[in-house]
Amino acid sequence: MPSFYGWDKLEVLRIHGCHLKEIHWQMFNGLTNLKYLSLERNAIKELPSFAFSGALHLKSISLAQNALVRLHYLSLAGLLDLEILDLSDNQLSRLSEQCFPPLPKLLKADLRNNPIKHIFPATFWVMNSTRELKMGSEMEALDLRTWNIYGQFDSLFQLKTLSLSNVSTEAMEQGLFKGLYGLEILTLRGSIISIQYDAFAGMEKLRDIDISHCMIRELSMDAFIGAKKLQLLNLSHNCLSYFPPGLLDEQLQLHEVQLQGNQLTSLSYSFFYLPRLRVVRLDQNPWHCTCQMSNWTPRITNVMRGPIAENCRNDISGNPNSCRIVTTYKINKNIVPRCANFNGRSVYYVLRKQLHCGSMEFLHHSFQKRIESKTFPYWLKLELQGHEKRNSRSRLQTYKSIHHQHPKSIVPGLKQYMQKTTQMPQLSEISNEI
């Protein structure tokens, strides 16, 4: 057994790839100022009680790529200053309240690539300050579930980032993430058949949700209620064939939605009216193209998020001032959504060249504003709102039929406006490549 007596000023110690099989409880005696300890790529199978009692001021411990098969709370006892714990690439198969001692300052815990199948209640009750937790392994699927009234991540009130790979659950339901009130970023991979009502209830700070490659088939229309600050939603590469109308009505800060690689054939007309929507990935879906898709625009669907850039304003002397970090976007013609019912042609080519939907979206806002600004009778507003969504070729015909039935109800100037809109030139044509 190595001895470190007399090394009281040592702060960093790494013992990598040395075939170290066991640790004695007195091994680190004398290392009173040790802050960072790494024992990666060894053959350690078990940690004795009070394994690090000689270095109680450790801030970081890495036991990655060893052969640990179990973890007892006495093994890490006394490490009240520990901030980072790396137990990745070991053989841990379950977690319970017997695994961790009080770790009041722990910020990051990495448990990836351990064949953990079950997380029992109270496992993380002594890790109240943890900000980041990563778990999941290809060797064993993590059973994601609730235990009666308890969640698997209770008491992680300060957690900001949760990453779980190879999870398995029939339904992501209410209570699954109970207690994660401060969570901002959630990443899941694995097998999740459906996302149920109130699955994210109480998670008001949630900003990014990435549940791609999870084989999701069903979304409840109230699945995201409570996540009002959501900015990024990634549901790509699942098995979705239906996207409920109004699903994202509360997500007014949503910037990016990724739905590529599903089985979607249509979206509700109101989907593109989210006020801050900047990117919507819709490629690799068998879209059934109709004129109801006239409010789709290439500036939203044909772009990808680029690198983060710094945007500064210069003062009078030309020096950078008032700088802020912004997200850049770039056009990518390879991600254009395509029509399954028109031999895979671009959605925008089909709308303008084959369905002849015209420039309906251009007219929508101005025409709707004109309708709302006039004191039309209610019946006429309904007629005009329904008429506005139809093909532009029928505008004049609809006006004539309304005027013939109610000639005295038409507000002066409507006739000239209708004639003007039917003669307006179409928007610039977009080629099949875009």
User: What is the tens place of the pLDDT at every residue in 298-345?
Assistant: 999 999 887 777 777 777 777 777 777 777 788 888 999 999 999 999
Instruction: Write down all domains in the chain, each with its CATH number in brackets.
Output: 12-303+331-354 (3.80.10.10), 360-422 (no CATH)
Is 147:120 a contact under the CB 8 Å cutoff? yes
Residue 64 scores a pLDDT above 70: yes
Give the list of residues 6+ apart from residue 318 with CB closer than 8 angstroms, or none. Answer: none
95 beta partners = 119
Is 230:257 a contact under the CB 8 Å cutoff? no
Helix 414-422, helix 360-373: angle, nearest 10: 170
Our CA dihedral for 23, 164, 173, 92, rounded to 10 degrees, sits at -20
Using CA atoms, how far apart are residues 165 and 237, in angstroms rounded to an integer? 15
Residue 404 scores a pLDDT above 80: no
pLDDT of residue 154: 87
Is 302:332 a contact under the CB 8 Å cutoff? yes
Picking from 47, 54, 38, 40, the residue whose alpha carbon sits closest to that of residue 73 is 47
pLDDT of residue 315: 74
Phi and psi at 400, nearest 5°, equal -60, -40
Residue 169 scores a pLDDT above 80: yes
Using CA atoms, how far apart are residues 406 and 320, in angstroms rounded to an integer? 63
pLDDT of residue 6: 84
Average pLDDT over residues 220-232: 93
Per-residue pLDDT tens for 66-104?
Answer: 999 999 999 999 999 999 999 999 999 999 999 999 999
Picking from 149, 155, 207, 151, the residue whose alpha carbon sits closest to that of residue 183 is 207
Helix (H, G, I), strand (E, B) or coil at 386: helix
Measuring CA to CA, how many Å separate 50 from each of 24, 25, 78, 89, 125?
9, 6, 7, 22, 20
Per-residue pLDDT tens for 333-387?
Answer: 899 999 999 999 999 999 999 998 865 444 444 444 444 444 445 545 555 555 5
pLDDT of residue 172: 92
Picking from 116, 111, 121, 50, the residue whose alpha carbon sits closest to that of residue 84 is 111
Q: Tell me the HSE value of 126 on the side-chain side, using a 13 A CA sphere.
A: 16
Structure token digits, residue 177? 């993430």
State which H helix or E strand residue 280 sits in.
Answer: strand 279-281
pLDDT band at 195 (very low <50, low <70, confident <90, very high): very high
Per-residue pLDDT tens for 110-149?
Answer: 999 999 999 998 999 999 899 999 999 999 999 998 887 8
Q: Please count the other Cβ atoms lying within 10 Å of the Cβ belonging to residue 237.
A: 17
pLDDT of residue 244: 94
Residue 61 scores a pLDDT above 60: yes
Per-residue pLDDT tens for 256-304?
Answer: 999 999 999 999 988 998 999 999 999 999 999 999 999 999 999 999 8
pLDDT of residue 97: 93
Structure token digits, residue 248? 């994202």
Structure token digits, residue 4? 């470190």
Using CA atoms, how far apart are residues 361 and 350, in angstroms rounded to an integer? 15
Q: Percent of the chain having pLDDT more than 70?
A: 82
Give the list of residues 6+ apart from residue 133 with CB closer than 8 angstroms, or none. Answer: 108, 109, 111, 124, 153, 156, 159, 161, 162, 163
Helix (H, G, I), strand (E, B) or coil at 146: coil
pLDDT of residue 247: 93
168 beta partners = 143, 191
pLDDT of residue 383: 54
Using CA atoms, how far apart are residues 66 and 15, in angstroms rounded to an integer? 12
Q: Please count the other Cβ atoms lying within 10 Å of the Cβ belonging to residue 150.
A: 15
pLDDT band at 25 (very low <50, low <70, confident <90, very high): confident
Give the list of residues 6+ apart from residue 42 with CB closer than 8 angstroms, or none. Answer: 15, 16, 17, 18, 19, 20, 21, 65, 66
Structure token digits, residue 97? 């309240």
